[in-house]
Amino acid sequence: MRTYLPLILLLFSASSILWGQSPSTLGDTTRTGQLNEIVISAQRSPTERFQTPEAISVVTNSGLIRSQSRTSPEALQFSPGVFVQKTNHGGGSPFVRGLTGNQTLLLIDGIRLSNATFRYGPNQYFNTLDVFDLSRIEVLRGSGSVQYGSDALGGAIQAFSRPLRLNAGQPQWNGKVLLRGTTQDMEQSTHADLAWSGRRFALGGGMSLRRFGDLVGGDTSGRQAPSGYREYNYDLKAKWMLAPGAVLTLVHQNTQQLHVPVYHKVQLENFAVNEFDPQRRALSYARFEQNIQRGIWEKWAFTTSWQQTEEGRRSRKNNSAIRREENDRVGSLGMNTQFDHRFNARWTANSGAEAYWEQVQSTRVDIDENTGQQTAKRGLYPDGARLENYALYSLHTFDWRPWTLTAGARWNAYVIRVSEAALGEGETLLRPSALVGNLAVMRHIAPQINLFASVNTGFRAPNIDDLGTLGIVDFRFEVPNYNLRPEKSTQIQVGGKWRSEGMEAELFVYRNELRDLITRIKQDTLTQQGYPLYQKENVEKAFIQGLETNWTYHIGKNWTAQGSLTYTYGQNRTQNEPVRRIPPIFGRLVIDFEPTKHWSIGAEWLGADKQDRLAKGDTEDNRIPQGGTPGWQVLNLHASYAWRGFSAQLSGNNLFNADYRTHGSGINGMGRSATLTLMYEIGK
């Protein structure tokens, strides 16, 4: 069956909901809808999702457990408007409205995960978040520059770690132990967390030990070696009530991944070894929050954070004795203060200031394995490069029912210092800045229908990766350029949200105009180490437009149907060709049945159409098959059982053993397999 047929059915079903044509099988239900949930990312403060004039995808903790998501990126796979590319088994790069890498902002607990070395195109950094430590993930599509700053051209993805709560009653212990395994030795995971909560103090922590074997693909791929790796995670949290309404929270997170192979490099580019080792992230932060409730002042929060990331790369070509050892480290000190205001019954706001100071350490050593001789060379980035990020922002909501207006602005300034001692050049100083804004108008047609239109401007300041990369990146050799300007965007979207007893739906249409895009330009016929020579320049204009829809039916008391569909179209105006790596049409359909409060069974269909609308860079990318990426369909089944704190989830993955690859990935998807998770919780 052609892939596009079920996608058309999904679109027809979703549009029928938006026009109020409910299915005849829909019965009465009292279930709370997903659109009633509270989200944080849209306005940096709690807001009901249905009342927000933004496109937001949410993955909850129960969804993470039930889907048995292997990693944080895979937890987002096929969320509305989100497409996940996997260069390797240990990676996963979410695309939001056709953009990824340093054009989509990543955050953890309100703190920037994106840093000075985030590269253009797919990267693996979202996989440094322990999926077992997350309580939810929110994807703000088409917005985020005003709320969170540079890099949110496509949107912002914010993960929230497991919360630690104070207990107004008697002190209480809570926690869980989790075991997970996947057939053919593809995963062995153990996780445990424990917390003690009192009235004025709470303390908790968790640990994950994970081993991933080589990924086994579908009917023709078989075992894809090398692709397995090891991962270790731990976190510590403490919370004090210093005074009534005043709370201090301390958090530390640590992730380490070892020997993470880049599969397509070994298979297609004559490498005997090509891997990330180690891949590390450590974040510590302190957050003070106080309820003020005095005049226009409601709340105040101050956060200070210290984050360190390390990416080691090890590579050696076949028939070569030279092993290259590269290492990049980024230290980031952050501070953020935020005030929530209520000027009157109709006007609320939050405003604040942010600052980040980052420094990059980058080294490279070439080792002759025959003689042991070591030769130090310039790293991928200029060693000692520094980036400073300063911002002021203010977000406002005006509620004049049946109209709601939201508006905001952010001023962002950067100071970037780069010294190229290795190339015989002095220090370069750059001071890019930007003023961005957003405006949205929502019309409450009825208690169950909201329509809105919005415009968001965004920017992305050039980072150290843009300015100072020297070396092999993907299938190119790149040289520095210290005369780059910020990328800019203007995104317009219209949308609707509809809910009633038993039915919920959303539909969004958008267009994103992009200008001053930083892109790699080939330097005539020059080559370096056998690779074509490229340098980044601000030379391109493009647009990306698309449609996103998702819906939920609660059919009677026991059945639920969910579906989503995403269509993305991008055109590079400068090159008169498609934008690189644009995802194909993709969709998801889920049917769940809960016969009792203990049991649940369901089926999930995932599908993507072929993508043969390719840019020149896509045709040169060895991760994309000649002629484009074929369409595919996958069917998964799941069953779960819960009783007195014990639960078990069993998934049958890719039942028909389809051989498939998400567009732009360097490794094929998982073949027919089964995953079992056993969990025991206390204090639930």
Contact of 215 with 89, CB cutoff 8 Å: yes
> pLDDT (tens digit, 9 = 90+) per residue, 311-324?
999 999 999 999 99
Q: How confident is the model at residue 654 (pLDDT cuts 50, 70, 90)?
A: very high
Q: Provide mean pLDDT across the span 349-376.
A: 96
Percent with pLDDT over 90 in the chain:
79
What pLDDT does 9 receive?
Answer: 46
- Write down the pLDDT at residue 19: 41
Q: Residue 5: which pLDDT band, with cuts at 50, 70 and 90?
A: very low
pLDDT on residue 424: 60
Is 552's pLDDT higher than 50? yes
pLDDT of residue 262: 95
Query: Is 337's pLDDT higher than 70?
Result: yes
Average pLDDT over residues 629-655: 96
Does pLDDT of 12 surpass 50? Answer: no
Cβ neighbours of residue 50 closer than 8 Å, sequence gap 6 or more: 33, 35, 36, 450, 497, 499
**Average pLDDT value for residue range 243-260:** 97
Residue 300: what pLDDT? Answer: 96
Residue 282 clears pLDDT 50, i.e. is over it = yes
Tokens 């497991």 belong to residue: 162
Q: How confident is the model at residue 566 (pLDDT cuts 50, 70, 90)?
A: very high
How confident is residue 126, by pLDDT bands cut at 50, 70 and 90?
Answer: very high
* Residue 550 in tokens: 């998702």
Averaged over 8-25, what is the pLDDT? 42
pLDDT band at 13 (very low <50, low <70, confident <90, very high): very low
Residue 333, CB half-sphere, CA atoms under 13 Å: how many? Answer: 4
pLDDT band per the 50, 70, 90 thresholds, residue 32: very low
Q: Do residues 79 and 55 lie in contact, with contact meaning Cβ atoms separated by under 8 Å?
A: no
Alpha-carbon gap, residue 367 to 364, rounded angstroms? 10
Q: Is 26's pLDDT higher than 80?
A: no
What pLDDT is recorded for position 504?
93
Residue 7 has pLDDT above 80, yes or no: no
Confidence of residue 334 (pLDDT cuts 50, 70, 90): very high
541 pLDDT above the threshold of 80: yes
Residue 21 has pLDDT above 70, yes or no: no
Residue range 79-106: average pLDDT? 93
Residue with tokens 């952050």, as numbered in its chain:
334
The domain limits of the chain are: 4-33+171-682
pLDDT over 90 at 183, yes or no: yes
Whether 2 shows a pLDDT value over 50: the answer reads no
* Closest CA relative to residue 608, chosen from 70, 77, 59: 77
Whether the CB-CB separation of 285 and 248 falls below 8 Å is answered with no
pLDDT digits (tens, 9 = 90+) for 387-409: 999 999 999 999 998 999 999 99
Mean pLDDT of all residues in 14-20: 42
What are the pLDDT digits (tens) for 257-274?
999 999 999 999 999 999
Interatomic CA distance for residues 57 and 71, integer angstroms: 17
Burial class (CB in 10 A: 0-12, 13-18, 19+), 135: middle
User: Can you give the pLDDT at residue 33?
Assistant: 52
pLDDT value at residue 471: 77
Omega before residue 278 within 30° of 0, cis: yes
Q: In the predicted model, is pLDDT for residue 210 greater than 70?
A: yes
Q: Which CATH number fits domain 4-33+171-682: 3.40.50.150, 3.30.1490.100, 2.60.40.1180, 2.40.170.20?
A: 2.40.170.20
Determine contact, residues 251/236, Cβ cutoff 8 Å.
yes
Instruction: Return d(Cα 437, Cα 407) in angstroms, integer.
Output: 7
Helix (H, G, I), strand (E, B) or coil at 608: strand
Report the chain's mean pLDDT, rounded to a whole number. Answer: 91
556: left (phi over 0), alpha (psi -120 to 50) or beta: left
Instruction: Report the C-alpha gap between 518 and 248 in whole angstroms.
Output: 41
What would the pLDDT profile of 483-499 be if each residue is shown by its tens digit?
A: 899 999 999 999 999 99
For residue 31, pLDDT beyond 70: no
Q: Let me know: does 505 contact 519? Beta carbons within 8 Å.
A: no
